[in-house]
Structure 1
């Protein structure tokens, strides 16, 4: 469902050129659960951002469901992200002055659906992650693990085909991290969601179907 062909990413300033990725060739098949591992600064998050259409490669081609997105305009890219891809971040990225239910509804504001349907879908997503009773709470009233579950509910509320998770357990203790991993495993098994997860944890990576290793901006085998 996602193909990266000869991807390179270079950041240029007046004084220095930084090569973040080079010669990346990677196919993500529908229904896979994949982990990405590598040392800090090796290009993992850059790779995930390109997969999620949040960043453009300096060179190479990205295909989604067999179609190249090279010629897509910003509006087309935004629409594709909103309809096909869900994001989970290490730092949750919840809006503190919005209630839990409103945070989860946010991705749906860009779709042509009614307020009633948005609320129904958001409530169902929160129920899926075990937080239906917390809809009226604010993020500051929740534990770190609960906030990450809200972030997962927000990521899945639009029923994405691809879920990208950047260190989703990185700010949590082992118990809370295991709970988050169990939710991801359930989404993969029961909903057939394709998941790509960046992690530093070897034990979590072993629970995925395939591990991709990145070193100095390149895939290593």
Structure 2
């Protein structure tokens, strides 16, 4: 489903060169729930961004569903992200001026879906995360756990095959964190392939496989 071959990522300034990822090789199979762990600054988010086509490797290549993407145009990459990938961020990235259902509909705007279809799909996604009674609320009226559930609904509204989650429980207490993990597990059981960055050993142990990074290198 996602394959990285000899991936390296280097960030350069006029005076400094930083090796963020070094010779990463990994293969995430369809239907897997994989967690990525490592100390702060080890390259976890960089790796997730490359897997999500938000950043390009300096060397090596990435395949999504069997297709190598290094020759894709920005337009083709954006289309692939919209069709196959769903993103969940630690800081939610909700728009405060929009209602919950309008926030969830956002990815569908780029598909030229009709207003009726957008509303139906958004309602369906909110029901999956247990927030059908909060559709007309605004983010400022929600708890942290509720905001993250809205973010998950937004990530799954387009029914992506792959969900990439960057510290989805990092801003939540243990009770809310477990609720979010339970939702992700149900999505995985429903067929979604999930890659989750986490600092929480207990969370990681509940996924199928753990990938550890240290100083940008995959620890075997």
State the TM-score bracket (shorter-chain normalisation). Answer: over 0.9
Using the size of structure 2 for normalisation, the TM-score is 0.99
Q: In the alignment, which residue of structure 2 is the partner of 1:155?
A: 155
Cα deviation 1:70-126 (Å, max 9, x = unaligned): 100000000000000000000000001100000000000000321100000000000
What is the alpha-carbon distance in structure 2 between the residues aligned to residue 137 and residue 78 of structure 1? 29
Q: In the alignment, which residue of structure 2 is the partner of 1:196?
A: 195
What is the alpha-carbon distance in structure 1 between the residues aligned to residue 186 and residue 64 of structure 2? 24
What is the alpha-carbon distance in structure 2 between the residues aligned to residue 130 and residue 68 of structure 1? 37
Matched, 1:78 2:78: yes
Q: In the alignment, which residue of structure 1 is the partner of 2:207?
A: 208
What is the alpha-carbon distance in structure 2 between the residues aligned to residue 184 and residue 75 of structure 1? 29
Q: In the alignment, which residue of structure 2 is the partner of 1:119?
A: 119
SS at match of 1:72: coil
Report the CA distance between 1:22 and its aligned residue.
0.9
What is the alpha-carbon distance in structure 1 between the residues aligned to residue 113 and residue 97 of structure 2? 24
Q: In the alignment, which residue of structure 1 is the partner of 2:217?
A: 218
What is the alpha-carbon distance in structure 2 between the residues aligned to residue 202 and residue 22 of structure 1? 24
What is the alpha-carbon distance in structure 2 between the residues aligned to residue 76 and residue 136 of structure 1? 34
Q: In the alignment, which residue of structure 2 is the partner of 1:187?
A: 187
Matched, 1:63 2:49: no
Aligned length: 220
What is the alpha-carbon distance in structure 1 between the residues aligned to residue 65 and residue 142 of structure 2? 37
What is the alpha-carbon distance in structure 2 between the residues aligned to residue 172 and residue 66 of structure 1? 36
What is the alpha-carbon distance in structure 2 between the residues aligned to residue 142 and residue 159 of structure 1? 24
Show structure 1 runs of 4+ deviating over 3 A: none
Structure 1 residues without counterparts, runs of 5 or longer: none
Structure 2 residues without counterparts, runs of 5 or longer: none
Q: In the alignment, which residue of structure 2 is the partner of 1:175?
A: 175
What is the alpha-carbon distance in structure 2 between the residues aligned to residue 204 and residue 2 of structure 1? 22
Report the CA distance between 1:59 and its aligned residue.
0.7
What is the alpha-carbon distance in structure 1 between the residues aligned to residue 7 and residue 184 of structure 2? 27
Q: In the alignment, which residue of structure 2 is the partner of 1:44?
A: 44
SS at match of 1:78: helix
SS at match of 2:103: helix
SS at match of 1:168: coil
Report the CA distance between 1:64 and its aligned residue.
1.0
Matched, 1:109 2:92: no
Report the CA distance between 1:12 and its aligned residue.
0.3
Using the size of structure 1 for normalisation, the TM-score is 0.99
